[in-house]
C-alpha cells in the first residue's frame, strides 16, 4: 500500500516528530510508513487522515498486489 504521508506533511509543514506526537506513535513509525515498510492499523490510518483533514483513501492508496 502506498501513502501520501510525506506529501501531506510537507503541505502542512510538520515534521515526522510533530505528526508522531499528534497520533501518539514514535517518529520511527512515521518514517517506516513513509518508506512503505509498515502498514498502519485502521485506527492509526484514521488518526493520520484526521490530522490532515482528509479521507483515508486520499492518504493511503491500495496497489494491485495488496
pLDDT, the chain, mean: 96
In this prediction, residue 66 carries a pLDDT of 80
Percent helix, strand, coil in the chain, to 5, is 60, 5, 35
Residue 17 sits in a domain whose CATH number is: 1.10.260.40
- In a domain, residue 45? The reply is yes
In this prediction, residue 65 carries a pLDDT of 85
What average pLDDT does range 22-43 have in this prediction?
A: 97
> Which domain does 55 fall in, by range?
2-61
Q: Could you tell me which residues come within 8 angstroms of residue 14 by beta carbon, excluding any fewer than 6 positions away?
A: 22
> Could you report the per-residue pLDDT of 48-64, keeping only the tens digit for each?
999 999 999 999 999 88
- In a domain, residue 9? The reply is yes
What average pLDDT does range 28-47 have in this prediction?
A: 97
- In a domain, residue 66? The reply is no
- In a domain, residue 25? The reply is yes
Number of domains in the chain: 1
Amino acid at each position: 500500500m502506498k501513502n501520501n504521508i510525506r506529501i501531506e506533511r510537507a503541505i502542512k509543514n510538520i515534521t515526522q516528530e510533530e505528526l508522531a506526537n499528534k497520533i501518539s506513535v514514535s517518529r520511527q513509525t512515521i518514517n517506516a510508513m513513509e518508506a512503505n515498510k509498515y502498514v498502519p492499523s485502521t485506527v492509526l490510518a484514521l488518526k493520520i487522515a484526521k490530522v490532515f483533514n482528509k479521507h483515508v483513501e486520499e492518504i493511503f492508496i491500495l496497489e494491485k498486489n495488496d
